[in-house]
Structure 1
Amino acid sequence: MRRCFEGVGLQCFLKDRAMAVTQDQKYLLIFDFDETIVNENSDESILQAAPGKQLPESIRSTYREGFYNEYMQRVLQYMCDQGVKMADFKAAYERIPLSPGMGDLFQLLFKQQDHFEIILISDANMFGIECALKAAGAYPLFRKIFSNPSSFDKRGYFTLGPYHSHNCKRCPANMCKHKILTEYLAERAQEGARFDRVFYVGDGANDFCPSTALKSSDVAFPRKGYPMHQLIQETGKSQPGTYQATVVPWDSAVEISRHLQEVLKKKC
């Protein structure tokens, strides 16, 4: 009899554990920031706080393709030299408007938090992203934010650094979002997290690279007419079948909301 009860107990334990694993399954939703969550490039938006709201040619001429992070370090140095303070930068980030429909999408995600794990991967900077998300009331949605480190030093100067180094030839020297995403997925798998599907919302060329890590069951949401969308279309023509993810272009994030709602209906 004792063995019988032990067997029943083991079966119950295994059943409960299986149910727990199923309940832990979520969708992973990844956002870009500039021109995805917000409707502007935040590096350009903060120039509203610069003298004359523009940069001198001596700064603008220092930009090199693939080294935008280094360029922005010089931009911030110049602005701080001109007396721009932390409060000025903060106010500029807080004024950046959300992209069309993004507020509606955030409302949906707040209601459906049990179904989504949400992260953000951006080549902007941590301070600016946090300011903008908190102003929009969306900051609590995000489990983790990956972006270039930024802070204010003892002088009150806004400092910016690179996120990491990598060997990807498609991405800028300071950040490869593909590397960040694949490392995150591996880390979460080790922690026991299971994702039924992965969704990626972006707009830029540097969003195309991580979207190539998606499987056929996953969904890429490229902003219509932006570089990510164009690169997906070009790949479809030049290398048919190599891009795996389902592609759902968007003008308004309301279109993303509708698609996610349909996915949730099918899940139920």
Structure 2
Amino acid sequence: MPTTERDHSPKMTAPSNPSQAAPQEQRFLVLFDFDETIINESSDDAVVRALPGQQLPDWLRNSYREGHYNEHMQKVLAYMAEQGVSKDSIHSAVAKIPPTPGLLNLLQFLQSHQQDFELAVVSDANMYFIETWLEHAGVRHLFRKIFTNPGSFDATGRLVLLPFHSHSCSRCPDNMCKQKILREYLAGRQKERGGAAFQRVFYIGDGANDICPTLALGPQDTAFPRRDFPMHKLLLEMQQFKANIVPWLSGEDIVDCLKKIMEER
């Protein structure tokens, strides 16, 4: 399964005693989407600007089929390689993407409470983009897992993208069901934790594909949809939803909510 374990290298003022940085029994799990959640735009759009003309030709843009975005991006990356876009250019384009407002403050807060929060990324982007950005921002060590599509450079210098998994969910694109990822992760972690489940699960996202995983949340859990983005609008339309819904404009809004929850202990 294409996931990565946490890199413990301290970059964002990591705790001085690494052995105390991540105890086994954190009470809360925080799941982050990546595009337009951790970063303030789509990483795919940002990388396209590394092309000589800074945009895709119409024939390639128009080749996209609904539910087959991963397949489309494979074609985009192949085209970029044909146009001579280098690994350095792609790396630079990803590293320059700005974080979403308040996001780094949220991560600083979560780092200062690592004894309580376990963090993971669940994204339909790809491993190369996500790890490049997180490492550049100095926050890679905060995330125990990254669930995303495999992406790596081959011997010819082309960034090769693969689907994450196959599934039978009719709501999700063919390469990724985030609810399947969430359910399997929760079950696996509970087993690893000797049967202890997380007290609460928090899901932070923005897009339509962030709805499916939130359907697995319970009454104690919270969905954080980015305000006025597709996830927020779709949640507002839902008749029945088990979890709490807290829209956010800035990472600071999420910090405020998490502080209140921690005070309830």
Same fold (TM over 0.5): yes
Offset of residue 170 of structure 1: 0.7
Gaps of 5+ in 2: 1-23
Q: For residues 60 and 24 of structure 1, what CA distance do their matches in structure 2 show?
A: 46
Gaps of 5+ in 1: 1-22
Post-superposition shift, 1:231? Answer: 1.0
**Higher helix proportion:** 1
Picking from 219, 227, 233, the partner of 1:230 is 233
Report matched runs for 1:252-263 at 5 Å. Answer: 252-263=250-261
Deviant stretches of 4+, over 4 Å: none
Separation in structure 1 between the aligned mates of residue 186 and residue 25 of structure 2, nearest angstrom: 15
Question: Is residue 2:126 matched to residue 1:128?
Answer: no
Q: C-alpha offsets along residues 36-79 of structure 1, whole Å, 9 cap, x if unaligned?
A: 00000110010110121001112111100000000000000000
Is structure 2 residue 201 aligned with structure 1 residue 201?
A: no
Letter of the 2:210 partner, please give it. D
Residue 189 of structure 1 and its aligned partner are, at CA, apart by 1.2
Partner of 2:148: 147
SS of the aligned residue for 1:220 comes to strand
Amino acid at match of 2:257: H
Contact preservation (8 Å) 2:26, 2:118: no
Residue type of the alignment partner of 1:99: T
- 1:25 positional shift: 4.5
Question: For residues 107 and 186 of structure 1, what CA distance do their matches in structure 2 show?
Answer: 28
Partners of 1:51 and 1:121 lie apart in 2 by 31
Alignment partner of 1:64: what SS?
coil
Aligned to 2:103: 102
Give the total of aligned pairs.
241
RCO (CA 8 Å, sep 6+): is it higher in 1 or 2? 2
Q: Is 1:24–1:194's contact at 8 Å kept on the other side of the alignment?
A: no
Contact residue 25 and residue 194 of structure 1 kept, 8 A: no
Residue identity over aligned pairs, in percent, reads: 52
- The alpha carbon displacement at 1:265 in A equals 1.9
State the AA in 1 paired with 2:243: A
Give how far 1:180 is off. 0.3
Please name the residue that 2:71 is paired with.
70
Task: Tell me how far apart the structure 2 counterparts of residues 258 and 137 of structure 1 sit (CA, whole Å).
Answer: 23
